[in-house]
Chain A
Amino acid sequence: DAKTTQPPSMDCAEGRAANLPCNHSTISGNEYVYWYRQIHSQGPQYIIHGLKNNETNEMASLIITEDRKSSTLILPHATLRDTAVYYCIVRVGVANQGGKLIFGQGTELSVKP
């Protein structure tokens, strides 16, 4: 699986958009970009995933560059409860192709009042 690079930490003001970048320059054509987050002492929570098109759900938006070498997770209106470690992971999408979620160090997002 391709490796990802994320900034170790970011701050965001409450109510503002949080834009979390991720570089995955060696991503393969069949690898998806997944985002999870982990609030302290809990299991990771799925946020969103995409292959090449931009995606949006009730939690966030995922913007993937045209060359797929980087992406940005956008939390449109960050709240204090969004304070967590955010992980960007690339993985083959289908289980029977042996895809595993391999976690990097992630970005520790602190939302401040």
Chain B
Amino acid sequence: GAVVSQHPSWVICKSGTSVKIECRSLDFQATTMFWYRQFPKQSLMLMATSNEGSKATYEQGVEKDKFLINHASLTLSTLTVTSAHPEDSSFYICSPQLPAGEQFFGPGTRLTVL
């Protein structure tokens, strides 16, 4: 299967700081990138969809100014959690998609905001 990496794999930050999460598709080009988050003992929740070179489309209830998504190239997308608060502590997972529809998932980034 395709290789997807996320960096960092875990991060602890202070409340009010910003955190950037990188997602790379290592052996394929992703025209579409999905970002999910997952709270403990819950399912994955889709946050936003982005296409390379375009602005992201956010799901209802997800603040676009708080979760900044950049999909500058076909192999790299970033999610920045701005002014993080403890309630933003979660498991963030990127999911690049090929044009034909195959969708893969990164290993996830665990964010803990103190």
Task: Indicate if the CB atoms of B101 and A99 lie closer than 8 Å.
Answer: yes
Q: How large is the interface on B (under 10, 10 to 19, 20 to 34, 35 or more residues)?
A: 20 to 34
Q: Give how many A residues have a beta carbon under 8 Å from the other chain's beta carbons.
A: 22
B58 within 8 A of A: no
Q: Encode B88-100 as 1/0 by CB contact (under 8 A) with A.
A: 0001010101111
Min CB distance A2 to B, Å, is 16
Task: Indicate if the CB atoms of A100 and B99 lie closer than 8 Å.
Answer: no
List the B side residues contacting A95 at CB < 8 Å. 31-32, 97-101
A101 within 8 A of B: yes
Of the stretches B43-51, B61-69, B70-78, the one at the interface is B43-51
- B34 in complex: contacting residue of A38, A41, A100, CB < 8 Å: A100
- Considering the chains assembled together, what is the distance between the CA atoms of A104 and B45 in angstroms? 9
- Considering the chains assembled together, what is the distance between the CA atoms of A36 and B46 in angstroms? 15
Q: Encode A28-60 as 1/0 by CB contact (under 8 A) with B.
A: 000000001010011111100000000000000
- A94 in complex: contacting residue of B43, B46, B100, B107, CB < 8 Å: B100
Residues of B20-70 whose CB lies within 8 A of A: 31-32, 34, 36, 43-46, 49
Task: Indicate if the CB atoms of A44 and B105 lie closer than 8 Å.
Answer: yes
List the B side residues contacting A103 at CB < 8 Å. 36, 43-46
- Considering the chains assembled together, what is the distance between the CA atoms of A87 and B46 in angstroms? 14
Task: Indicate if the CB atoms of B100 and A101 lie closer than 8 Å.
Answer: no
- A87 in complex: contacting residue of B43, B99, B106, CB < 8 Å: B43
Residues of A73-105 whose CB lies within 8 A of B: 87, 92-96, 99-105
List the B side residues contacting A43 at CB < 8 Å. 4, 6, 93, 95, 105-108
Give the interface of A toward B (CB within 8 A).
36, 38, 41-46, 87, 92-96, 99-106
